[in-house]
């Protein structure tokens, strides 16, 4: 797995102050994607064990971070590797929230064991392909109207997709 980019502090990819990891690789190829260079699974740098531990150390020792966001590419194309890293984060800092962006619909994620495992480790998933005709820059944390902010724990408890309500968490 490759890491396309890393932002130690951001307020753009989820609520609060977040570290953001951009995971290389995406096969959705959405027209109008803001980061087509991230589609290649070879883009960026190898996310070696050493690099993973370095970022994990930075994130878990940052007292002001609220959580981590996985972006891409699409992290769900590297679900098993991402889940392993997120599990380490959850063990070290169970108070941090995890958000993830994906072009898959949530309903697609849960049909694949590796993707479902990563989904279960998330608090919020922004799902759905970016659709240029549905572009709406006024929407918080997403680029097109078809994309959903999903409350993963609520969805798992109710067995139906529960929208994430901004300001209630």
Q: What is the mean pLDDT of residues 14-40?
A: 96
The pTM is what?
0.96
Q: What is the mean pLDDT of residues 7-31?
A: 97
- Stated as kind and residue range, the H or E segment containing 5 is strand 2-10
State residue 167's pLDDT score. Answer: 80
Number of structural domains (the chain) is 1
Q: What is the mean pLDDT of residues 80-96?
A: 97
Number of H helices, E strands in the chain: 5, 7
Within a domain: 167: no
State residue 168's pLDDT score. Answer: 65
Within a domain: 166: no
Between CA 64 and CA 76 the distance in angstroms is 27
Within a domain: 84: yes
Within a domain: 168: no
Shortest CA distance to 35 belongs to which of 23, 45, 50? 23
Q: Is the per-residue pLDDT at 146 higher than 60?
A: yes
State residue 169's pLDDT score. Answer: 57
Q: What is the mean pLDDT of residues 82-88?
A: 98
Within a domain: 89: yes
Q: What is the mean pLDDT of residues 69-92?
A: 97
Within a domain: 164: no
Range of 17's domain?
2-158
Q: What is the mean pLDDT of residues 18-40?
A: 96
Within a domain: 94: yes
State residue 117's pLDDT score. Answer: 98
CATH code of the domain covering residue 104: 3.20.20.70
DSSP state of 36: G
Q: What is the mean pLDDT of residues 43-54?
A: 98
Handedness of CA 93, 94, 97, 98 (dihedral sign): positive
Within a domain: 163: no
State residue 38's pLDDT score. Answer: 97
């Amino acid at each position: 797995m490759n890491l396309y980019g890393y932002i130690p502090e951001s307020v753009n990819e989820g609520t609060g102050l977040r570290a953001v990891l951009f995971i290389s690789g995406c096969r959705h190829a959405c027209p109008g994607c803001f980061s087509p260079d991230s589609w290649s699974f070879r883009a960026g740098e190898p996310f070696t064990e050493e690099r993973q531990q370095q970022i994990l150390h930075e994130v878990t020792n940052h007292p002001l971070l609220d959580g981590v966001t996985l972006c891409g590419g699409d992290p769900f194309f590297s679900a098993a590797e991402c889940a392993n890293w997120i599990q380490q984060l959850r063990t070290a800092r169970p108070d941090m929230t995890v958000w993830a962006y994906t072009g898959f619909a949530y309903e697609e994620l849960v049909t694949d064991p590796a993707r479902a495992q990563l989904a279960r480790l998330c608090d919020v998933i922004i799902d759905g392909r970016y659709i240029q005709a549905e572009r709406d820059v006024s929407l918080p944390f997403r680029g097109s109207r078809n994309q959903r902010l999903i409350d993963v724990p609520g969805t798992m408890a109710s067995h139906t997709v529960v929208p994430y309500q901004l300001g209630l968490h």
